[in-house]
A and B are shown apart, each in its own frame.
Chain A
Amino acid sequence: MSLLALEGVTASRGRRPVLAGVDLAVAPGEVVALLGANGAGKSTLLRAAAGIAPASGVIRLGGAALGALDARARALRVAYLPQEREIAWALDVAALVGLGRLPHRATPEADRAAVAEAIAAMDLAGFEARPATELSGGERARALIARALAQEAPLLLADEPAAGLDPAHQIALMARLRLLARTGRGVLVALHDLSLAARWCDRAALLHGGRIVADGPPEAVLTAARLAEVYGIVAHLDRDADGPILVPVGPAPSRPERG
């Protein structure tokens, strides 16, 4: 049974229709990259799947209809990491990560263990007592990812978690998402970095014109023709023993203007 299933999902941002019939599923054990140009509707799709943006069509979380779940039941099934990295007050990092435990009502020991594990996973050991508002941009991003990890939901929806991280922490993040998937969870991650998507994700879903236009192994999805059509770029495609290598190298040759 899939952790997330979208069938014919439509949604608007303001008056502008953004999603026009999206079909997408995420199964336990896989990291799925959600790709698409700026404004393609990646964030709208993630917010709809998390139950915080209105959408029509069928959305199921672990087999249950999204609308039938109350807010807490939803929070136990899906963790959502927004693109905006808002931290309103100077909570220390441990307290900030601990916010991910709010839906659980578990014992303090279980909460502490989950928080410690998430902090270690995001390479933030030693930062526990630091006010989160005094962290650098990348450290702040890692603390917020740790918050979403501490929620320990079977499905993680992450909106641009890699933006603003240095290469070492980008790689550590993607390796962590893979590790999560290996323990039976599912991850849907919106990415702009095609290199990370190609190398670290089990599947790529390409959002264009309000629909998923391609869905499959990254190498099958990110073809030269699609990169030119969706992103307007040319990329160098290669692979080594560990997987695909994709490096965007320039703009696609201009297409004839349509009249």
Chain B
Amino acid sequence: MSRPRPALVFGVLAALAAALVVASLLVGPARLPPGESLAALLGGAPPAEALIMRELRLPRAALGLLIGAGLGLSGAALQGYLRNPLAEPGLVGVSGSAALGAVIALYSGLSAAFPLALPLMALGFGLGAALLVQGLAGAGSSSITLILAGLAVSSLASALTALALNLAPNPFAASEIVHWLLGSLVDRSLPQLWLAGPFLVAGMALLLTLGRSLDALTLGEDAAASLGVSLPGARIRVVLGVALATGAGVAVAGAIGFVGLVAPHLLRPLVGGRPSALLPASALGGAILLLAADVAVRLIAPERDLKLGVVTALVGAPLFLHLVWRSRRTLT
């Protein structure tokens, strides 16, 4: 195997992410010509086009970039912290709980009365779940208790989500809940971006500080502690960072699976396995996967409203199968 070259990997990933942001700006049901679209973004275009570009496509592309990066980064941080390649943002109960918050907003009709109630409820539930998991896992430093606490909280959240569906007042409410759960960036606009953006950025900033601690954890918890890593401090940063970065993503886009699991997996061999290099690479990789999926749903079946979470799962699951198949030889 050739020696990993992280600088080259970062360059290629950044270029791909940038290209997909542009692609996301250019694709949409309004079918604006590419030149005019970009001109409308910068000003000097008919008001209708400027409105589409600035209030719909730009927030959608920015949300795709930030939410994808948040998922990729959360996955890489959790895998590094737990030293388990199967860890993903859903594991600590944040995604399931954020989704439950959103479902309650839909179920109770709050979201119809006040549009931002849904993302606010989702964010609140996501952060609450993180605090609950952190409290349940206790002050000890062992990572296995975190997995168990996360499993307990996400099981509870999915049970309550199922209850809400079960008791939905009418078929229309049930279908609204199901559609929301499938995940989408359709019709998201500036208010959602302003609401989720700061949380996404803060969560990612927190997770990016974990590089050295995660590198040391490669050798296990005892060796990491002896290398000067504060294990309780690292855990608080992981849980809070994932809660912010993933919770805010679920709050505006619904539950989007597989990005946080697959992005770190695909990129780990390319950066030489080192968790500190994988964090930024996986953020870019997550953004690429989500932006590509969001462009794809608009190109493949624009009239059918194909859901983003469905596409990421459809692409992610076979990709994951392939990775498992390939790693059978090395994981013995």
| Least distance between A84 CB and chain B CB atoms (Å) | 6
Q: Does A78 contact B (CB under 8 A)?
A: yes
Task: Flag B1-27 by CB within 8 Å of A: 1 or 0 each.
Answer: 101000000000000000000000000
Q: Contact between A52 and B219 (Cβ–Cβ < 8 Å)?
A: no
Q: Contact between A90 and B227 (Cβ–Cβ < 8 Å)?
A: no
Task: Pick the interface stretch among A98-106, A164-172, A188-196, A226-234.
Answer: A98-106
Task: Pick the interface stretch among B94-102, B104-112, B266-274, B282-290.
Answer: B266-274
Q: Does B228 contact A (CB under 8 A)?
A: yes
Q: Contact between B228 and A71 (Cβ–Cβ < 8 Å)?
A: yes
Out of A75, A90, A96, A133, name the residue touching B228 (CB < 8 Å).
A75
Contact A88-B216, Cβ < 8 Å, known A52-B226, A71-B230: no
> Which residue of chain B has its CB nearest to the CB of A47?
B222
Contact A86-B3, Cβ < 8 Å, known A71-B229, A91-B274: no
Task: Flag B253-293 by CB within 8 Å of A: 1 or 0 each.
Answer: 00000000000000011001111000000000000000000
Q: Contact between A82 and B215 (Cβ–Cβ < 8 Å)?
A: no
> Which residue of chain B has its CB nearest to the CB of A50?
B226
Q: Contact between B220 and A84 (Cβ–Cβ < 8 Å)?
A: yes
Out of B223, B228, B268, name the residue touching A82 (CB < 8 Å).
B223
Q: Does A131 contact B (CB under 8 A)?
A: yes
| Least distance between B327 CB and chain A CB atoms (Å) | 10
Contact size range, A = 35 or more
Q: Does A163 contact B (CB under 8 A)?
A: no
Chain B interface residue count, CB cutoff 8 Å, equals 25
Out of B3, B216, B230, B330, name the residue touching A99 (CB < 8 Å).
B216
Q: Does A92 contact B (CB under 8 A)?
A: yes
Q: Contact between B219 and A86 (Cβ–Cβ < 8 Å)?
A: yes
Q: Does A10 contact B (CB under 8 A)?
A: no
Q: Contact between B219 and A102 (Cβ–Cβ < 8 Å)?
A: no
Task: Flag A83-126 by CB within 8 Å of B: 1 or 0 each.
Answer: 01011111110011001101100000000000000000000000
Out of A47, A76, A86, A134, name the residue touching B220 (CB < 8 Å).
A86
> Which residue of chain B has its CB nearest to the CB of A157?
B226
Q: CA A144 – CA B220 in complex, angstroms?
A: 12
Contact A80-B222, Cβ < 8 Å, known A89-B275, A131-B273, A133-B330: yes
Out of A50, A72, A89, name the residue touching B218 (CB < 8 Å).
A89
Given A80-B222, A95-B272, A95-B273; 9 other pairs, CB 8 A cutoff: A71-B225, A82-B219, A88-B217, A88-B218, A89-B275, A90-B268, A90-B269, A90-B330, A100-B227
